[in-house]
Amino acid sequence: MKFFENFKFTNLLSKKKIDENLLDKFEELLIESDVGPVMAAQLKDEFKKEKIGKEIKDEKEIFNFLGNQISKILQPYEKSLKKIQKNSPTVVVVAGVNGVGKTTTIGKLGRLYKDEGKKIVFGAADTFRAAAIEQLEVWSKKINVDFIKSDLGSDSASVAYKTVKFAEEKKLDLALIDTAGRLQNKKNLMDEYKKIFKVLQKINSDYPHETILVLDATTGQNAINQVSEFKKASNITSLIITKLDSEARAGIILSICKKFNLPIIAVGVGEKESDLRPFNAKEFTKLMLEN
């Protein structure tokens, strides 16, 4: 992550004491790092309360302040990966636009639960992309879990239905359902997405137990639009943030958690199977500071 790459504190520290001009510049730098205006203003106010009129020794003091504040903001949004009960399927729908690493994330989630001894089925309800179906099938073989698919272009809700019924009949522990990347301007695709939930709820009003939205940390402010649109179409219950090993500044995560009150259950920090990790605010903040 490159959250702090825009923070050039040399000019800020030309004055030893924090004043209003420096605070304004501090706020601008936060906004440039994708924190967003509301969160930047909050951090500026906290910085002002603690540091106004005081001398700043070096950049490290400012970084430490930011690290403490970011960790404090994110801690309420830590959420453990869902505990799966045996022999009664937990149904999880995974959503997100194309390119965020959604299908790979499903594979990695499957590996985590497979390692716990859970019986799992993947449902390839992204029927609009042959590559998505193939990729999920490769993952299913790689970690040895069941796999349900249909023909390219077929009804995605039908695949979701078959996946859950298979999980019930076989007394599996977890059904992970992939969905197509839905863009905000493609109403017909969003309607297909909504249909999945209607079909699942006809099987059992508690389905799905979890709807995870996968976000790419490099997306920046556009991630807010993605969350907003998916929340209109379904009850998003949690987030997984991917590509934190990239050039992402990831400041947008602060704004999303605050604006939508959504917890983060895991973060993707690399390409390996083991590179999906439970979200921990302190560890996440440490990663930001180290880079």
Mean pLDDT of 93-122: 94
* Alpha-carbon separation of residue 47 from 8, 52, 87, 260 (angstroms): 17, 7, 51, 24
pLDDT of residue 200: 98
pLDDT tens figures, 40-72: 898 889 888 887 777 777 777 778 888 899 899
* Alpha-carbon separation of residue 164 from 15, 91, 189, 211 (angstroms): 63, 7, 21, 14
- Of 114-123, 175-184, 204-213, 240-249, where does mean pLDDT reach its minimum? 240-249
Domain ranges for the chain: 12-77, 90-290
Average pLDDT score, the chain: 86
Is 91 or 88 the better-scoring residue by pLDDT?
91
Q: What is the CATH number of domain 90-290?
A: 3.40.50.300
CA count, 13 A, side-chain hemisphere, 146: 22
pLDDT of residue 16: 58
Burial bucket for residue 256 (CB in 10 Å: 0-12, 13-18, 19+)? buried
Question: Residue-wise over 117-156: b if at least 16 C-beta within 10 A, else e?
Answer: ebbbbbbbbbbbbeebbebbeebbeebebbbbbbeeeebb
pLDDT tens figures, 142-170: 999 999 999 998 999 999 999 999 999 99
In angstroms, the CA 257 to CA 290 distance is 22
